Chain A
Amino acid sequence: MKIGVLGDNENVMGYKTLGFEVACCDTKEAAVCGLRKLARECAVIFVIEDTAKDIQEEIYEYQEEKTPAIILIPGSGGSLGIGMNALNLQVEKAVGSNILEGKDNG
């Protein structure tokens, strides 16, 4: 199966060199549309954080399904912390409290 990448034109350019299936989007509607299209044919979808922050609900829909795996990656502006935040939410959901943050502070 293919690997997809979703984001604005500037950020996804680099991933094109790896032969990923690319969906460029500038608006929220285009992003949702792109995500749905990629989800049909890709096993892994990388979403640039700047785009992902607008379509979090749609991304959440795929969370309990085996494929596609949707992974947030930082754009050229650096990490926005959304991906890490999602990770912390997972821990909170499973364990009940955030054990990862406690480790950082200690």
Chain B
Amino acid sequence: MARLNVNPTRMELTKLKKRLATARRGHKLLKDKRDELMKRFIELIKQNQELRLGMEQKAAECSRAFVMAGAVTSPEELSQALAYPSCNVEVQVSDKNIMGVTVPEFTYSVKEGSNDPYCYGFVNTCADLDSAVVKMNELLPVLLKLAGTEKAAQLLACEIEHTRRRVNALEYIMIPQLEETIKYITMKMEENERGNITRLMKVKDMVLEKK
């Protein structure tokens, strides 16, 4: 491991020792953060997988129901019937904090003109369309729950990746580098000290010889 390019002085040594202490502390904290994030992520992703499996099945059913309805009704009549929806879904975004990661939380409100989900007259449409619309209304809460968990999982995955990178950088680059440099400076200073002592002894001998 390459050591840092610094002068081997006492001042540098103190500075580096302080940096090493901070790096060690940061490493420990980040490691804890990574472990906890991972725990939350695994919980979330399992929930997400279940929701997605359920949603995919239901959504495919819904789409199929609409295709069936489209087969019976003419496309013009169908698009006319659905041209003006009776309800209007709005979503509110609030922030939730998971281990320092802000994830959005979606709550929805349905603004309905009437309590009736059907936005069309029954004269030109078929019964298949009615059941398709009912199925669609049942799908809505699942869809929005999935949206929340999936986004949270995405954001957490990004954060875990960043944190892991930082932990590794500290563990395998920063800390060994600092340790090596501190060792180098201590050795250099000890060597200087030894050189100094030998010189003093030599001088002392020379002085004694002269007398």
A-B contact list, 14 entries, CB within 8 Å: A3-B91, A14-B133, A17-B87, A17-B117, A19-B85, A19-B87, A20-B89, A43-B104, A44-B144, A67-B104, A69-B106, A90-B154, A93-B157, A95-B160
Q: How far is the CA of A17 from the CA of B36 in the complex (A)?
A: 41
Cα-based distance from A102 to B82 in the complex (angstroms): 44
Taking the complex as formed, is A40 at the interface, i.e. its CB lies under 8 A from any CB of chain B? no
A87 in contact (CB, < 8 A): yes
A74 an interface residue at 8 Å Cβ cutoff?
yes
Residue in A11, A17, A74, A94 whose beta carbon sits within 8 Å of that of B38 in the complex: A94
- Is the CB of B88 closer than 8 A to any CB of chain A? yes
Residues of A contacting B: mostly? mixed
Q: How many residues of A contact B (CB 8 A)?
A: 38
Name the segment of B4-12, B44-52, B186-194, B200-208 touching the other chain.
Answer: B44-52
A94 touches B49 (CB 8 A): no
Main secondary structure of the interface of B (DSSP, over half): helix
| Most A CB within 10 A of own CB, among B48, B65, B108, B157 | B157
**A51-88 residues at the B interface, CB under 8 angstroms:** 63-64, 66-67, 69, 71, 73-76, 78-79, 83-84, 87
Q: Does A2 contact B (CB under 8 A)?
A: yes
The reply to whether the CB of B151 lies closer than 8 angstroms to some CB of chain A is yes
Q: What does the 1/0 interface line of B42-73 toward A look like (CB < 8 Å)?
A: 10011011001101100110111111001000
